[in-house]
Structure 1
Amino acid sequence: MRLIIAEKPSLARAIADALPGQVSREEGSLRVGDTRVSWCLGHLLEQAAPDAYDPRYKQWRLDHLPIVPEQWKLTPRHNARGQLKVLRTLLKQAKSVVHAGDPDREGQLLVQEVIDYLGWRGSVARLLISDLNRPAVQRALERMEDNRSYQALYHAAEARSRADWLYGINLSRAWTLTGRQAGHDGVLSVGRVQTPVLGLVARRDREIADFVPRPFYVLWADFQVEHGTVRAWWQPDDRHPLDDQNRLLKREPAEALASRLPGTLGRVATLDAQKKRQAAPLPYSLSALQVDAARRYKLSAKGVLDACQALYERHRLITYPRSDCRYLPQDHWAQARRTLEGACAGDETLSRWLGSADFSLRSKAWNDKQVGAHHALAPTGARPDFARLSASEANVFRLIVRNVLAQFYPPLETREVKVDFEALEERFRAQGREILVPGWKPLFTTRDDAPPLPSLRQGEPARVADQAVEDRMTRPPEPFTDASLIKAMMNIARYVEDVAVRRTLRETDGLGTEATRAGIIETLLDRGFIVRQGSALRATRTGQALIAALPDAATRPERTALWEQRLSAIAEGSDQAAPFLDALLGDLRTLLAGADTARMRQALASAKGFEAPARAKARKAGRRGTKGTAAKRRTTKRTPGKNKEEA
C-alpha cells in the first residue's frame, strides 16, 4: 500500500480525486485502489511543556531559568490523538510513503515530524501542490521528488520551532513573575516575533500621545500664463525660520511677500518635462494582498488570509495563498488566456477588463528565476460561482485576478512636469502629470492625484492673479492599521536605527513570514496587548507596560529579523541549525539578566493613561465583550503555566 499524508483534509480530498479509480472513505483516510490518502489537521504535534523535561518546572520560578532541553520532545496536540492513531496504523501497513505538506517551511515540518515521530524508517517521496484543481494535482503527482531534497527546509522549520519555545517559555516566565512581583495579575507573554511587532505599535502610540502640534504657514500664488492658470507654492529659503522639513514657522514673512504679489509679473524660470513608462503592479504575494485589501475593503490581515484559504481549499479558485513571491512561472504564460477566461466568467467588470487584454504581451512577472518554493497568487482558471462566495472572498478574488490580468495591459505612460516660477526674486513651485497612455491604470483607479498643467514654455511671462497665506498645523503620525502594520513588517528595515543592520535587512523578507503575519496581529489582540479602535490598532496599558519593562533589544525588530534571515539561510542549506540555536541561547541569557521588578513597577505606573480608552474601545467593538472570551482571559490569569500562553 502507498500512503500519502496531506497537511489538511481538503488537500487530501484533492489528491484522492486526482488519482485514477473510485474514491472510498475510511476512518481518517481515503482509499483509491492501492493508495490511501490521509491527513494531518495542521500541526498534530507540538513542543513538550517544560514539566515534561522535569516535574519541578511545573512551578514557575526565576531560579529555573533558562530552561534548555537536552533532548527535545514532541507531544500530541489536544484532539490530535485520534488522527495520530489512524496514521500510526496506516504507516504499519504502508510499503511507501508520500509527504504532501504545503510547499513551505511549516508544511515541510508538520508532516515530516509526524512521520518521524511515528517511527517510519523507509524512504519518503515529496509531493508539492500549489493548486488544488485536478489537472494541477495530476501534474504534481507525475513529478514527485525525494523528500531528502527538502531536509534543509525541515531543519529550518525545526530550528524555528525550538527557537520560539526557548524564547517564549523563558522570557514569558521571567516577565510574568517579575510582573507578579510588581503587582500585575496575569501572563505577560513574550515572543520572538510578536513582541517586536507590539513594540512598533506601542512606540507609535507613544509618539502620538507625546506629539505637540506646531503651526506652520504656506503661501500660494496663481500664475496666469498663455494657456491657463497654475497654482504654485512659495519655496522659502534658509533666510527664513524653517523646520527640518522646510516648513515656514512664522507667518510674517509669508504675509509680507503676499502683500507685494498682486499683479506682479513673473516668469517660468525652470521647466522640467519628462515622459515616463510604468509597468503594471506585479501579481500579489500574501502580504501585498493583505495591504491592498485592508486599504480598499477595510479587511483585517486575518480576514484576508481566511478568504484566501477558502478560495484555495473550498472553492479551488486560486493557487496556494501563503506565498512570499510576486512572480509567476514562465510556462503559466501560455495558459494565461484560458485561465483568465475562466476566472473572469460571471463578473461584468472582470469580463470587460478581459476583453481589452492583449495576450501577446509578456510582462516581467513571468520569471522562473524569481520563483522559489511557490509563486505569486493567481487564479486557477476554475469558473467562480459568485453566489457561493462571501463578500470578502469575492473582493479578494477580484483583486487577485485583476493583478494577473494587468500583466496583459501596456505600461502606463505619462508626461510629468515640474515648473518653478520666479516673482519678486522668489521661487514658486508646481507640478502636474498628463496621462498619455492609460495602460493598466484604469484597472486600479480612475483618479489621478496630479492633474495636468497647461502648456508652458521656458521663460514665458506669468502674472500673479491671486494669492493667499494658509495657516496649517503639523500632524502626529497615524496609528497603525492592519495594512500599515503588515507593510511595516514587510519593510522592517525602515524601523531599524543601525545603518549596517538596516542595509542587511533590506535584502530579507522582513519581520515574520507571509504565513504568520496575520496570526501575529491576532495573537496580540487575543492576549490583550493591542485593541482595535475602528481600523486603528492601539496598544493597551498592558502592552505599553510590557514594552517599557523589557530590555530594548527584545522589543525591536533587528534581532528577530536577523534570526529570520538565518532561518532562511538554513532553509537554503547555507547555514546550520546548531550555531543558530547556540547564538540564540547567548542572547537569551543576556535578556534574562534584564528582568527587573522596579522597572516593571515603573512601567505599569507610566502606562496607566492607556488603560481606560483602550478598554472602552474594546468593549464597544465587542472584541472581548462576550462571556466566552472574557472567561477565557480570566482562565489564562489563573493558570499562567499553560504552554500556549508562554510561547
Structure 2
Amino acid sequence: MRLIIAEKPSLARAIADALPGSPRKQDGAIAVGDTTVTWCLGHLLEQAPPDAYDPALKQWRLDTLPILPSRWKLTPRARARGQLAVIRGLLKSAREVVHAGDPDREGQLLVQEVIEHLSWKGAVSRLLVSDLNRPAVQRALARLEDNARYQPLYRAAESRSRADWLYGINLTRAWTLTGRQAGHNGVLSVGRVQTPVLGLVVRRDAEIRDFTPHPFFVLWADLAVEHGTLRAWWAPGEQQPLDDQGRLLAREPAAALAERLPGAEGRLVKLDTQNKRQAAPLPYSLSALQVDAARRYGLSAQGVLDTCQALYERHQLITYPRSDCRYLPEEHFAAARASLEGACRADDTLRQWLAGADFTRRSRAWNDKQVGAHHALAPTGRPMDPSRLSATEANVFRLIARNVLAQFYPPLSTREVKAEFRILDEAFRARGQEILEAGWKPLFTTRDEAPPLPTLTEGEACRVSAAGVEDRETRPPEPFNDASLIKAMMNIARYVEDSAVRRTLREHDGLGTEATRAGIIETLVERGYLVRKSKALRATRLGSALIASLPEAASRPERTALWEQRLSAIAEEGADPAPFLGDLISDLRGLLASADAGRLREALATSRGEEPAAVGRAPAKRRGATSRRRSGASTGTGRGTRRAGRKRGSS
C-alpha cells in the first residue's frame, strides 16, 4: 500500500479526488485503489515541555535557566492523538510513503516530523501541491520527487522551532519569576514575534501620549481663470518661519498677504500635465485582505481569518486562504472565465461586476515566477448563494472575487495636473485629477481622489476673487488598529534603520506569517497586553511595563531578520544548524542576565496605558496556571496553546 500523508484534510481530499478509482472513506483516511491518503491536522506534534527532559524543571526557578535540551523531544498534541494513531497504524501496512505537506518550510516540517517520530525507516517521496484543482494535483502526482532533496528545508524549519522554544521558554520563565519578585503575580510571556509586535504598539502609544501639537497656517486663494475657477494654496518661501515639512508657523505673514490678494492679478507660470495608467490591485493575500476588510467592514484580523476558513472549508467557495502570495498560476488564466461565471452568477453585485469583465485581457497577476507554496485567494467556481452565507461571509467573498474580476478590467487612466501661479510675487499651487477611463476603479469606489481643474494654458492670466487663512494644528500619529497593525507587520522593514536588516525583512514578508498574524494580535489581547478601545488597539499598563523592562533588542523586529538570514542559509545552502543555535544560546544568556526585578518593579509602577477588559484579566491566571502545569509549553513560543489543525509558524 502506498501511503500519502497530507498536511490537512482539504489537501487529502483533493489528492484522493485526483487519483484514478473510487475513493473509499476510512477512519481518518481515504483509500483509492492501492493508495491510502491520510492527513495531519496542522502540527500533530509539539516541542516537549521542560519537565519531559527533567522532572525537576516542572518548577519554575531562575537558577535552572537557561534550559538547554541536549536531545530534543516532541510530544503529541492532546487533540491530535487520535489522528496520530491512525497514521501510526497505516504506516505498519505501507510499502512506500509520500510526504504531501505544503511546499514551504513549515509544510516540510509538519509532515516530516510525524514520519520521523513514528520511526518510518523506508524511502519517502515528496508531493508538491500548490493548487487544489484536479488537473494541477494530477500533474503533481506524476512528478514525485525524493524527499531527501528537501532535508535542508526541514532542518531550517526544525531549527526555527527549536530556537523559538529556547527563546520563549527561557525568557518567559525569567521575566515571570522576576515579575514575582517585583510584585506581579502572573505569567509575563515573551516571544520572538509577539513581543516586537507589542513593542510597535507601546512605542506608537508613547508617540501619541508625548506628542505636543503646534499650530500652523495655510493661505488659500480662489482664482478666476479663462475656463472657470479653482482654489490654489500659497507656497511660502524659505524666508518665512517654516517647520521641517514646510508648514507656516506664524499667522501674520499669511494674514497680511490675504488682505492684499482680493482683486490681485497673476499668471500661470508652470503647468505640469501627466497621463497615467494604473493597473488593478492584485488579488489578495490573507494579510492584504485583512487590511481591506478591517477598513471597509471593521472586522478584526482574526475575524477575517475565521471567515476565510469557513468560506474555504465549509462552503468551498475560495482557495486556500492562509497565503502570502498575490499572484495566480498562469494555467489558471484559461479557466478564469468559467470559474468566475460560476462563482458570481447567484449574486446581484457580482453579476454586475462580471458583466464588465473582458476575459481577453491578461494582467500581471498571472505569473508562475511569483507563486510560491500557495497562490493568491480566488473563487473556486462554486456559486456564491448569499442566502447560505452570513453577511460577513458574503462581504468577504465579494472582496476576494472583486480583486480577481478586476484583472479583466482596463487600467485606470487619469490626467494629473499641477499648476503654479505667480501672484504678488508669491507662488500659489493647485493640483487636480481627471479620470479619462475609469477602468477597474468603479469596482472599488465611486469617489474621485482629487477633483479636476478647469482647462489651463501655461502663461494665461488669473485673478483672485477671494482669499483666506485657515488655522490648523499638527496631529499625533493614529493609534494602531487591526488593519494598520497587520500592515505594519507586513511592512515591518519601515520600522528599522539598518539597511541590510530592512532588506532581509522585506525579502521574508515582514513579522509573523499570514497564518499567525491574526493569532498574535488576539494572543496579546487575551494576555492583557493590548486592549481594543473602539477600533483602536492600545497597550495596557502591563504591556507597556513588559516592554520597558525588556532589553530593547527583545522588543524590536531586527532579531527576526537576523534569524531569517541564518535560516535561509540552512534551507538554501545546506548550512549546519548548530552554529545558529549556538549563537542563539550565547545571545540568550546575555538577555537572561539583564532580567532585573528593580527595573521591572519601576516599570510596573510608572508605565502608562489602558486597563484591560475585565473578561481579559480573569483568564490570564488560568492561562498562567496552565503554562506552569505544562512547564511553559504554551508560553515558550509566545503564542499560547494552539489548536490542532493550525500550522504553527512564527512566535
Give the Cα separation in 2 of the matches to 1:572 and 1:380: 33
In the other structure, the counterpart of 1:299 is 299
Aligned equivalents of 2:559, 2:621: Cα separation in 1: 35
Amino acid at match of 1:646: G
Give how far 1:569 is off. Answer: 4.3
CA distance 1:640–1:587, change in 2 (3 Å): same
**Partner SS for 1:92:** helix
Aligned to 1:531: 531
Native 8 Å contact 2:504 2:565 kept in 1: no
Structure 1 residue 487: Cα displacement: 0.9
1:465 aligns with 2:465: yes
* Residue aligned with 1:176, SS: helix
Residues 80 and 71 of structure 1: CA distance in aligned 2, closer, same or farther (over 3 Å): same
SS in 2 for 1:199: helix
Q: Where in structure 2 are the equivalents of 1:296-445 lying within 5 Å?
A: 296-445=296-445
- Render the CA deviation track for 1:513-532: whole Å, top value 9, x for unaligned: 22221121122112111111
Check if 1:144 corresponds to 2:147. Answer: no
Change (3 A) 1:574 1:473: farther
Q: What TM-score does the superposition give when structure 1 sets the normalisation length? A: 0.94
Q: What is the aligned partner in structure 2 of residue 205 from structure 1?
A: 205
Whole-angstrom distance in 1 between the partners of 2:222 and 2:273: 20
Aligned to 1:548: 548
1:644 aligns with 2:634: yes
The residue type paired with residue 634 of structure 2 is: K
**Equivalent residue number for residue 644 of structure 2:** none
Q: What letter corresponds to residue 248 of structure 1 in structure 2?
A: L
| 8 Å contact from structure 1 (residues 133, 316) kept in 2 | no
1:341·1:381 contact (CA, 8 Å) conserved in 2? yes
Q: CA shift at 1:633, angstroms? A: 4.6
Q: How far, CA to CA, are the matches of 2:508 and 2:621 in structure 1? A: 40
Contact 1:130 1:320 in 2 (8 A): no
Structure-to-structure mapping, 1:112-191, within 5 angstroms: 112-132=112-132, 134-191=134-191
- State the secondary structure of the residue aligned to 1:248: coil
**Is the contact made by 2:179 and 2:597 (CA closer than 8 Å) also made in structure 1?**
yes
Contact 2:60 2:628 in 1 (8 A): no
CA distance in 1, matches of 2:350, 2:569: 40
Q: Give 1:495 deviation, angstroms.
A: 0.6
> What's the counterpart of residue 579 of structure 2?
579
**Contact in 1 for aligned 2:221/2:468 (Cα 8 Å):** yes
CA contact (8 A) 2:501 2:558 kept: yes
Matched, 1:246 2:246: yes
Deviations 1:262-300 (A, max 9, x none): 111111121111111111111122211111111112111
What is the rounded CA distance, in whole Å, between the counterparts of 1:287 and 1:575 in structure 2?
31
Question: Does the 8 Å contact 1:418/1:432 carry over to 2?
Answer: yes
User: Offset of 1:226 from its aligned partner?
Assistant: 1.0
Q: Is the 8 A contact 2:164 2:636 kept in 1?
A: no
Distance 2:125 2:225 in 1: 74
Distance 1:639 1:120, change over 3 A: closer
Deviation of 1:208 (Å): 1.0
Q: Structure 1: which 4+ aligned runs deviate by more than 6 Å?
A: none
- 1:4 is aligned to 4
Counterpart Cα distance in 1 of 2:627 and 2:46: 22
Matched, 1:455 2:452: no
- Tell me: higher relative CO, structure 1 or 2? Use CA pairs within 8 A at least 6 residues apart: 2
Secondary structure of 1:538's partner?
Answer: strand
How far is 1:52 from its partner?
1.4
Deviation of the 1:95 alpha carbon: 1.2
1:67-124 Cα distance to aligned partner (Å, 9 max, x none): 1111111111113322222221111111122222233322221211111100111122
CA contact (8 A) 2:290 2:483 kept: yes
8 Å CA contact 1:187, 1:636 repeated in 2: no
Query: Are the structure 2 counterparts of residues 646 and 82 from structure 1 closer, same or farther at C-alpha, using a change threshold of 3 Å?
Result: same
- Separation (CA, whole Å) in 2 of partners of 1:499 and 1:136: 40
CA distance in 1, matches of 2:388, 2:84: 34
TM-fit CA distance, 1:574: 5.9
Find the partner of 1:614 among 611, 614, 624. Answer: 611
Match of 1:480 in 2: 480
Superposition TM-score, scaled by structure 2 size: 0.93
In structure 1, what is the Cα distance between the partners aligned to 2:564 and 2:145? 27
Corresponding letter in the other structure for 1:644:
S
Q: CA 1:379–1:579 in structure 2 vs 1: closer, same or farther (change >3 Å)?
A: farther
User: Which residue of structure 1 lines up, in the alignment, with residue 81 of structure 2?
Assistant: 81
Q: Is the 8 A contact 1:270 1:419 kept in 2?
A: yes
- The residue that corresponds to 2:560 in the other structure is 560
> What percentage of aligned pairs have identical amino acids?
73
Deviation at 1:368, TM superposition (A): 1.8
Do structure 1's residue 605 and structure 2's residue 597 form an aligned pair?
no
Can you list the C-alpha shifts for 1:326-355, whole angstroms capped at 9, x where unaligned?
Answer: 222222222221222122221222222222
Residues 598, 631 of structure 1: CA spacing in aligned structure 2 closer, same or farther, 3 A cutoff?
closer
| Letter of the structure 2 residue corresponding to residue 643 of structure 1 | A
Aligned CA RMSD, in angstroms, stands at 2.1
Inter-partner Cα distance in structure 2 for 1:484 and 1:38: 39
Instruction: Give 1:635 deviation, angstroms.
Output: 4.0
In the TM superposition, what is the alpha-carbon distance from 1:596 to its structure 2 partner?
1.1
Deviation at 1:575, TM superposition (A): 4.3
CA drift of 1:149 comes to 3.1
Contact 2:627 / 2:635 at 8 angstroms: preserved in 1? no
Q: Matched residues in 2 for 1:441 and 1:390: separation?
A: 27
Q: Counterpart of 1:396 in structure 2: which amino acid?
A: V
1:416, 1:433 within 8 Å by CA — same for their partners in 2?
A: yes
CA–CA separation in structure 2 for the residues paired with 1:150 and 1:316: 31
Q: Deviations over 1:599-647 (max 9, x none)?
A: 111111111x32xx433xx34xxx638x7x4673574588694420233
- Supply the distance in 2 between the matched residues of 1:521 and 1:585 (Cα, whole angstroms): 27
| CA contact 2:526–2:620 (8 Å) conserved in 1 | no
Deviation of 1:504 after TM superposition, in Å, equals: 4.3
Distance 1:11 1:332, change over 3 A: closer
Q: Per-residue displacement from partner, 1:382-438 (whole Å, max 9, x unpaired)?
A: 223332222222222222221121111121111101111111111111111001111
Counterpart Cα distance in 1 of 2:317 and 2:611: 39
SS at match of 1:643: coil
> Does 1:624 find its partner at 2:616?
yes
* Whole-angstrom CA distance in 2 between matches of 1:254 and 1:589: 60
Q: Tell me if the contact between 1:131 and 1:312 (Cα under 8 Å) persists in the aligned partners.
A: no
Output the amino acid matched with 2:278.
Q
Aligned length: 637
Separation in structure 1 between the aligned mates of residue 226 and residue 214 of structure 2, nearest angstrom:
39
Name structure 2 gaps, 5 residues minimum.
638-651
Does structure 1 retain, via aligned residues, the 8 Å contact 2:46–2:74?
yes
8 Å contact 1:2–1:35 — kept in the other structure?
Answer: yes
Aligned equivalent of 1:29? 29
1:646 counterpart SS class: coil
Residue 174 of structure 1 aligns to a residue whose secondary structure is helix
SS at match of 1:37: strand
Contact preservation (8 Å) 2:24, 2:30: yes
Q: CA deviation at 1:510?
A: 1.0
8 A contact 1:132–1:312 mirrored in 2: no
> In 2 relative to 1, CA 634–124 (structure 1 residues): closer, same or farther, beyond 3 Å?
closer
Q: Distance in 2 between matches of 1:630 and 1:184?
A: 12
Aligned to 2:648: none
Match of residue 221 from structure 2: 221
Partners of 2:460 and 2:80 in 1: CA distance: 79
Letter in 1 for 2:475: R
Aligned amino acid, residue 241 of structure 1: P
What letter matches 1:190 in structure 2? Answer: V
Residues 44 and 80, structure 2, Cα contact 8 Å, conserved in 1: yes
Note if contact 2:528-2:620 (Cα within 8 Å) is conserved in structure 1: no
